[in-house]
Structure 1
Amino acid sequence: MGARMTTAEPVATLRHLEHGATIGEALAFFDGLPAVEVPELLGSWRGGEIPTGNPMDGLLERFGWHGKRFDSADEVHPLVMDRPGGGVFSLHPGLVPLPALLPALQRRPGLFRHAALGRVARAIAPALGTRAPKARLRRTEYRGVVSATMCYDDLPIHDVFRRVDADTVLGAMDLRGLPSPFIFFLRRE
Structure 2
Amino acid sequence: MTVENAGERLRELEAGASLPDVLELFDSLPPVRVEELAGTWRGNGIDTSNPFDGLLERFGWYGKRFGGPEDAHPLLFSARGGRVVSINPAFMPVGLMLGIADKLHNPVVAKLFRLLMPLMTTAKPRARLRVVEYRGVSSAAMVYDALPIHDPFRKVDDDTLLCAMDLRGLAEPFMFVLRRDAA
After TM superposition, the score normalised by the length of structure 1 is 0.92
Deviation at 1:84, TM superposition (A): 2.4
- Among the aligned pairs, what percent are the same residue? 50
Deviation string, structure 1 residues 58-77 (Cα, Å, up to 9, x no partner): 11001111000001110100
Q: Distance in 1 between matches of 2:80 and 2:13?
A: 29
SS state of the match for residue 169, structure 2?
A: coil
Q: Distance in 1 between matches of 2:155 and 2:2?
A: 15
Name the counterpart of 1:82: 78
Deviation at 1:160, TM superposition (A): 0.2
Bigger Cα displacement from structure 2, 29-38 vs 78-87: 78-87
* Correspondence for 1:169 among 161, 178, 182: 161
SS state of the match for residue 164, structure 2?
A: strand
Answer yes or no: is 1:13 the counterpart of 2:5: no
SS state of the match for residue 85, structure 1?
A: helix
Computed over aligned residues only, the root mean square deviation of the Cα atoms, in angstroms, reads 1.5
Deviation string, structure 1 residues 40-79 (Cα, Å, up to 9, x no partner): 1111100011110000001100111100000111010000
Q: Distance in 2 between matches of 1:127 and 1:85?
A: 17
Contact 1:91 1:130 in 2 (8 A): yes
Residue 39 of structure 2 aligns to which amino acid in structure 1? G
Q: Which structure 2 residues correspond to residues 55-134 of structure 1 after superposition, within 5 A?
A: 55-105=51-101, 110-134=102-126
Residue 174 of structure 1 aligns to which amino acid in structure 2? D
Deviation at 1:120, TM superposition (A): 2.0
SS state of the match for residue 53, structure 2?
A: coil
Contact 1:50 1:183 in 2 (8 A): yes
Contact 1:7 1:32 in 2 (8 A): no
Name the counterpart of 1:54: 50
Deviation at 1:122, TM superposition (A): 1.7
Q: Which runs of 4+ in 1 moved over 4 A?
A: 5-8
SS state of the match for residue 120, structure 1?
A: helix
Q: Runs of 5+ in structure 1 lacking a partner?
A: none
